[in-house]
Amino acid sequence: MKKYRLLFVSILFIAILGSCDVLQQVADQLPATTTGSNPLTEQEVIQGLKEALRVSTDTAVSVVSKTNGFFKNQAIKILLPPEAKVIMDNKDNSMLKAIGVTKLIDNVILRMNRSAENASKQAAPIFVNAIKAMSIQDAFSILHGADNAATEYFKKKTSQDLFNAFKPTIKQALDKPLVANISTTKSWNTLTSKYNKVAPLINKPTVNTDLVNFVTQKTIDGLFVKLAEQEKKIRKDPIARVTDILKRVFG
């Protein structure tokens, strides 16, 4: 009776979540698995999901926190703030060329991305806490959702915590001389102060931006882009299932 009750619960679980590509693979294999000596339980499926989230977040954090994790990835590379678009639009102006504006821009962009890479390591424990706090209802929603359902869950649950945790870390990273013994803050101040002296002479607005808030948000945005990529791999690519529970549940 216990074996049949487990089979019923497992079939019901798969029926509820049948639209998810990954779980459909589990459903296809369920009869053979549940009649064997080591049946696949609902708890294992939930454990498999949490393991998938752990692997996805660990990989995403590892990728973006490496040197060039942001700077060499065009999808998440941090460029100048929107308020500084006027500098980019007028960098060919002869007066701005005279102050070496192109080199100043390049210096700031490189250092902003280095700061993001340096700070991204702080994301891992925040994601771990979100996974631990996940309810069964949360898990069902993710399993039943789109390829980025887990990423959207993390955005909802962790964005504010990430911003609060990242902001002081980003501030420290921006003030740290990460490239050629010059900090992002110093490089940014050099660019804006030199540009702002020329701006009135070429009838352009000056630039004043809260660089800490800007880089903090762009770092979080980039992290979620990589997390969505890793989530999709777990769901679709057998090679990305690197632990036994992932192979068992998603195989």
Residues of the chain with pLDDT under 70: 1-41, 238-251
82/131 same-domain check? yes
Contact 236, 23 (CB under 8 A): no
Count: domains in the chain: 2
Q: Give the number of C-alpha atoms closer than 13 A to the C-alpha of residue 130, restricted to the C-beta side.
A: 22
Residues 123, 28, single domain; the answer is no
pTM (2 d.p.)? 0.76
| Residue 55 within any structural domain of the chain | yes
22-71 per-position pLDDT tens digit: 334 433 433 334 334 466 667 777 777 888 788 889 999 999 999 999 99
- Is 53 inside any structural domain? yes
Amino acid identity, residue 69?
G
The structure tokens listed for 220 are: 């979080």
Q: Do 214 and 231 share a domain, yes or no?
A: yes
If you write DSSP's letter for every residue of 107-130 in order, what string do you get?
Answer: HHHHHHHHHHHHHGGGHHHHHHHH
Task: Give the Å distances, CA to CA, from 12 to 8, 23, 35, 41, 75.
Answer: 6, 12, 16, 12, 40
Residue whose structure tokens are 């049949």 = 4
What amino acid occupies position 162? Answer: L
